[in-house]
């Protein structure tokens, strides 16, 4: 995070989709229903039937209106490279985004309690955000930040939604996985003249820690 309130955050992807993202100057938006955690929007104790009913209504209501892009605060996790970076053969895109636009995930070891069963439609959006930004602590290695997007303001291609690169989501780095064969020439071609200032580098396993670090011996 810099003094101007801009956060550097990272989005992992395969090389194929990473190159497409760069060429098309956009990132795919995940819809609420396609997120990979079955406990999404279920961070609270919903032991009572009425709470489950209202929570389901909130999910359905907002799933039609909002999507999100998932980022991490770090590119160093070998687990994230394995899970989201195509087993270290993919790439990671570093963006500068206004910190006020990002929603930091809170990690917890137990389902939260809803005081006095106060899950009402009157404060629906705040409940939705609270649900969407709370996950079990086993996900904490992701150091996740989420960028919410209204689907009706996004670019659409068939059933998919995309958010265009812009000053509010500015590409600054292309980080190449340690097992990737993508060349610097391929990346520079995708970046073009418009994005020529974007930094490109490859990572390797660190010598003394369980993390990925910049490989200074390889120039791309």
- Give this prediction's pTM: 0.92
Q: How far apart are CA 215 and CA 37, in angstroms?
A: 32
Alpha-carbon span 38 to 169, nearest angstrom? 28
Which pLDDT score is estimated for 118? 62
What whole-number distance in Å separates Cα of residue 95 and Cα of residue 11?
Answer: 8
Residue 29 · residue 97 · CB < 8 Å = no
Per DSSP, the chain holds a count of helices (H) and strands (E) of: 5, 13
For the residues of 158-189, what is the DSSP string, one character each? TTEEEEE-BTTEEEEEEEE-TT----HHHHHH
* pLDDT given for residue 149 in this prediction: 96
Q: What is the pLDDT of residue 219?
A: 87
- Mean pLDDT of successive 10-residue segments in the chain (220 residues)? 83 98 98 90 85 83 93 98 98 98 96 69 78 94 97 95 96 98 97 96 98 94
pLDDT of residue 69: 98
Rounded CA-CA distance 196/51 in Å is 52
Backbone angles phi, psi at 198, to 5 degrees: -65, 135
Q: How far apart are CA 84 and CA 72, in angstroms?
A: 11
Q: Which pLDDT score, from 0 to 100, does residue 122 have? A: 65
The pLDDT, as a whole number, for residue 120 is: 62
- Which pLDDT value is given to residue 113? 82
């Amino acid at each position: 995070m810099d003094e101007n309130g801009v956060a550097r955050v990272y989005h992992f992807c395969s090389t194929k989709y990473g190159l497409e993202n760069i060429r098309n100057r956009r990132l795919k938006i995940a819809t609420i229903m396609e997120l990979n955690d079955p406990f999404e929007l279920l961070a609270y104790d919903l032991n009572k039937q009425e709470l489950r009913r209202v929570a389901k209504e909130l999910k359905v209501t907002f799933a039609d209106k909002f999507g999100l892009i998932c980022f991490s605060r770090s590119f160093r996790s070998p687990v994230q490279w394995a899970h989201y970076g195509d087993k270290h053969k993919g790439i990671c895109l570093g963006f500068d985004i206004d910190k006020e636009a990002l929603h930091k995930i809170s990690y917890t070891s137990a389902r939260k309690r809803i005081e006095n069963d106060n899950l009402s439609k009157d404060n629906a959006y705040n409940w939705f955000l609270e649900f969407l930004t709370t996950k079990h602590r086993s996900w904490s290695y992701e150091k996740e930040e989420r960028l919410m997007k209204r689907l009706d303001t996004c670019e659409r291609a068939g059933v998919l939604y995309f958010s265009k690169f812009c000053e509010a989501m500015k590409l600054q780095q292309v980080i190449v996985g340690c097992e990737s064969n993508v060349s610097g020439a391929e990346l520079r071609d995708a970046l073009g003249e418009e994005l020529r200032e974007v930094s490109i580098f490859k990572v390797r396993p660190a010598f003394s820690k369980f993390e990925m670090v910049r490989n200074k011996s390889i120039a791309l």
